[in-house]
Structure 1
Amino acid sequence: MSEIQTLNGDFTNVQGNYAIAVGRFNEFVVDSLVSGAIDALVRHGVDRGDITIAKAPGAYELPLVCQSLANTGKFDAVIAIGAVIRGGTPHFEYVSGPVAAALGSISLDTGVPVIFGVLTVDSIEQAIERAGTKAGNKGADAAMTAMEMVSLLSQIDD
């Protein structure tokens, strides 16, 4: 009887080219997320020269930027980073849902992992917690997910 083959991504085979698409709006939070993503990539052996950052005006523009990056064929993974903070208007709903849906479909359409590192929070306090204080750094978490996907997909492609 043969054994079941299980493929798992890890953090040892993470070499590749990574793009970080950044929505500049809420930059006071987003900058910490980007720093966390870069730190995680570099600490796991990704060369700084293999990281490209593309800055979009805000989170709503991230899907087009991510799609453009993925379509170049230059990147093994694209990390989308931004922050959408709920306010007193329905703007939050108009941005967060469509951005999440579009980023997911880009992965499926291009075959390039597009990692959702966009904070969708109710308050500035929650955003700050997720950008490097109590709740860790969600930019670093997104980078870890990107590396794991690059590792996993390299095993599937073999």
Structure 2
Amino acid sequence: MKDGSPVITVDGSGLRVAVVAASWHATIMDGLIDGARRGLADASVTDVDLVRVPGTFELAVACARLAPRYDALVALGVVIRGGTPHFEYVCQSATVGLTEVSVRSGIPVGFGVLTCDDEQQALARAGIPGSSEDKGYEAATAAVATVTALRAVLE
């Protein structure tokens, strides 16, 4: 975990988690996926599936279809601002779509979608050597922490 990240210690033993990751920007995505895997391992989650989708826009539909089969989902993607409104559309769609999946299904979705002005900002958040943040790790631990918090009061 990188400096400045919240310290979340949870026991996710026995949980089934899917990491749903976009494919664009391989170096950044590899860092996010590795971070999510580290976060899940630190939380003792061993039943983890990785599902790759083409881009960040496709995360919501994949998570919606997967939600009934998992205790938590971790959505990972990156959108880098360009010269067209594409950035705003994809970022808003991903955010609203993933929120809707979580609320409608009741399954926590760790939000690991980077929305950055440039590639340097994304690299700084990707959890790779030299990064100042590890958003994949944070998204994974947030999803597991939410499952355990809800179970503590609902079961």
Tell me the TM-score normalized by structure 1.
0.87
Task: Tell me if the contact between 1:67 and 1:106 (Cα under 8 Å) persists in the aligned partners.
Answer: yes
Structure 2 residue 98 is the aligned partner of structure 1 residue 103: yes
Structure 2 residue 24 is the aligned partner of structure 1 residue 25: yes
* Aligned counterpart, 1:85: 80
Aligned to 2:57, which of 40, 60, 64?
60
* Aligned counterpart, 1:35: 34
* Aligned counterpart, 2:109: 114
* Aligned counterpart, 2:145: 148
* Counterpart code for 1:85: I
* Aligned counterpart, 1:123: 118
User: Which deviates more, 9-18 or 131-140?
Assistant: 9-18
* Aligned counterpart, 2:4: none
The CA RMSD over aligned residues, in Å, is 1.4
Structure 2 unaligned blocks of 5 or more = 1-7
Which aligned segments of 4 or more residues in structure 1 are displaced greater than 3 angstroms? Answer: none
Alpha-carbon distance between aligned partners in 2 of 1:62 and 1:134, rounded to the nearest angstrom: 24
Q: Cα deviations across residues 55-96 of structure 1 (Å, max 9, x unaligned)?
A: 1000001100000010xx321001100000111222101100
Task: Tell me if the contact between 1:14 and 1:150 (Cα under 8 Å) persists in the aligned partners.
Answer: no
Alpha-carbon distance between aligned partners in 1 of 2:36 and 2:14, rounded to the nearest angstrom: 15
Alpha-carbon distance between aligned partners in 2 of 1:113 and 1:39, rounded to the nearest angstrom: 18
Change over 3 Å in CA distance of 1:60–1:118 after alignment to 2: same
Alpha-carbon distance between aligned partners in 2 of 1:31 and 1:119, rounded to the nearest angstrom: 13
Task: Tell me if the contact between 1:14 and 1:148 (Cα under 8 Å) persists in the aligned partners.
Answer: no
* Aligned counterpart, 2:3: none
Shift of the alpha carbon at 1:109?
A: 0.7
